[in-house]
């Protein structure tokens, strides 16, 4: 046995970071030589707290940095300053960040200034366009060069790092921890069970939509254990990208309305992001459409449950591009470029941008062509096998013991 465990700080600020870092925390918790410290910047508050609850986590340190109407410069400065104080007080052996948020950039800079080695989970993703996604492309491209461990989810992301002359010893292909999280939640739902009635109530899904599209399976089983047939087809929608604010979101809303008009048997369920730049056009254009159910943002467990039941997903989310293939759900990606081309190459995802014509054409292909839908729903997930977190923990344990 090791006489003393070395501390590793895991820093998260948003719900996606929590979801993708939770499996790493769970893996490090079982390490003989390493001990995780969970730090929350609170970049996003409500949705982050909900994600902690899914995995039974509670931050060891909660900085609570979110402020109403916060700007990127202000938030970046607060993360850098607050994380510097935390690192000076606790002096972890390493700091882990995940993804491409302001929390990632500010924390990585703080650790670099304190000469503490950085591990970047989900390193190497690139669009090579600083405007899309903005500012996330810049955040991750600045974090990788100062990271001691670049945990690349795929060979494609590792190739990006190599092309940028990242030392080979710093690059580790691990798979994406989002698959670990998805499978963990899937098993949890199998054990605990989750009925349509529970999801409908928690997610505030309108009764008429629920009655038509959300039905429990045999013996009231969750579709996580057995996909349910017989219910009418419906589409799950998410959207929040800054680069689509304004005309882009208006186009997206018009496309959703066109799908509803062309396919009167198809439902559309849209958990609407809280950002006013999303809420305003969505409520204005789709609020009166009786076949589009607009609901508040949903929790992670409920979202997985819903994604497992929908026909396909229309989204601009990076995480959804990685999660949906594990559930056999095609994704129409409402972006013109993606830092996750593996799903596009595999055929599980299709870039559609925000053009109503393109969205309509690709949605029609999935709704009209059963053979095409079947082909794209059976493709293998290119983002991993659910063991990424343990690979990361093993690499850290080996390197920090020397």
Instruction: Note the pLDDT of residue 341.
Output: 92
- What's residue 318's pLDDT? 85
Of 45, 212, 242, 254, the catalytic one is 242
Is-catalytic flag, 240? yes
Residue 311: its H or E element: none
For the sheet containing 6-12, what is the strand order?
Answer: 61-62, 34-40, 6-12, 94-98, 118-121, 149-152, 171-173
Which residues of the chain, if any, have pLDDT below 50? 1-3, 217-230
In the residue annotation, 201 being an active-site residue is answered as no
Of 17, 100, 250, 342, the catalytic one is 100
* Domain covering 6-176+385-400, topology: Rossmann fold (3.40.50)
Give all strands (DSSP E) within 133-204, no chain letters.
149-152, 171-173
Helix (H, G, I), strand (E, B) or coil at 206: coil
Q: Which helix (H) or strand (E) holds 149?
A: strand 149-152
pLDDT of residue 245: 85
Vertex 291: Cα angle to 285 and 292 (nearest 5)? 50
CATH 3.40.50.2000 in the chain, residue ranges:
6-176+385-400, 194-377
Catalytic residue list contains 308:
no
Class in CATH terms, 194-377: alpha beta
Q: So what's the pLDDT on residue 293?
A: 97
The yes-or-no answer on residue 242 being catalytic is yes
Rounded to the nearest angstrom, the gap between the alpha carbon of residue 77 and the centroid of all alpha carbons in its chain is 25
Instruction: Specify the residue for token string 């990424």.
Output: 388
Q: How far apart are CA 153 and CA 239, in angstroms?
A: 23
Catalytic residue, chosen from 273, 291, 350, 376, is 273
Backbone region of residue 9 per phi and psi (left: phi > 0; alpha: psi in -120 to 50; beta: other values) = beta
Residue with tokens 């920090």: 400
Closest CA to 131 of 141, 123, 145: 141
Distance between CA atoms of residues 182 and 366, nearest Å: 24
pLDDT at residue 231, as a whole number: 57
pLDDT of residue 225: 38
Residue 40 phi, psi dihedral angles, 5° rounding: -110, 125
């Amino acid at each position: 046995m090791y006489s003393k465990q070395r501390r590793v700080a895991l820093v998260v600020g948003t719900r996606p970071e929590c979801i993708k870092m939770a499996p790493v925390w769970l893996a490090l918790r079982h390490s003989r030589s390493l001990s995780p410290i969970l730090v929350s910047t609170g970049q996003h508050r409500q949705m982050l707290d909900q994600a902690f609850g899914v995995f039974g986590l509670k931050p060891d340190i909660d900085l609570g940095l979110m402020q109403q109407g916060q700007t990127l410069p202000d938030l970046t400065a607060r993360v850098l300053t607050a994380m510097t104080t935390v690192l000076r007080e606790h002096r972890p052996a390493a700091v882990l960040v995940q993804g491409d948020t302001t929390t990632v950039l500010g924390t990585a800079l703080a650790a670099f200034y304190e000469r503490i080695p950085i591990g970047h989970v989900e390193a190497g993703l690139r669009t090579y366009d600083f405007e899309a996604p903005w500012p996330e492309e810049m955040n991750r491209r600045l974090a990788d060069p100062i990271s001691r461990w670049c945990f690349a989810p795929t060979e494609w992301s590792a190739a990006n790092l190599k092309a940028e002359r990242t030392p080979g010893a710093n690059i580790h292909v691990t798979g994406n921890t989002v698959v670990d999280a998805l499978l963990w939640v899937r098993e949890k739902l199998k054990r605990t069970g989750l009925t349509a009635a529970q999801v409908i109530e928690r997610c505030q899904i309108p009764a008429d939509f629920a009655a038509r599209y959300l039905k429990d399976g045999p013996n009231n089983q969750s579709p996580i254990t057995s996909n349910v047939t017989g219910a009418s087809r419906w589409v799950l929608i998410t959207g929040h990208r800054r680069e689509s604010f304004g005309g882009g979101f208006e186009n997206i809303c018009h496309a959703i309305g066109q799908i509803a008009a062309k396919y009167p048997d198809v439902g559309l369920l849209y958990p609407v992001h809280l950002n006013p730049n999303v809420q305003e056009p969505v409520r204005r254009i789709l609020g009166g459409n009786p076949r589009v159910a607009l609901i508040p943002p949903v929790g992670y467990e409920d979202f997985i449950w819903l994604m497992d039941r929908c026909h396909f997903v229309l989204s601009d989310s990076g995480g959804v591009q990685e999660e949906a293939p594990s559930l056999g759900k095609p994704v129409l990606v409402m972006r013109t470029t993606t830092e996750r081309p593996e799903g596009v190459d595999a055929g599980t995802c299709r870039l559609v941008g925000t053009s109503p014509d393109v969205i309509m054409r690709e949605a029609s292909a999935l709704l009209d062509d059963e053979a095409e839908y079947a082909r794209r729903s059976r493709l293998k997930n290119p983002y991993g096998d659910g063991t990424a977190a343990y690979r990361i923990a093993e690499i850290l344990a080996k390197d920090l013991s020397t």
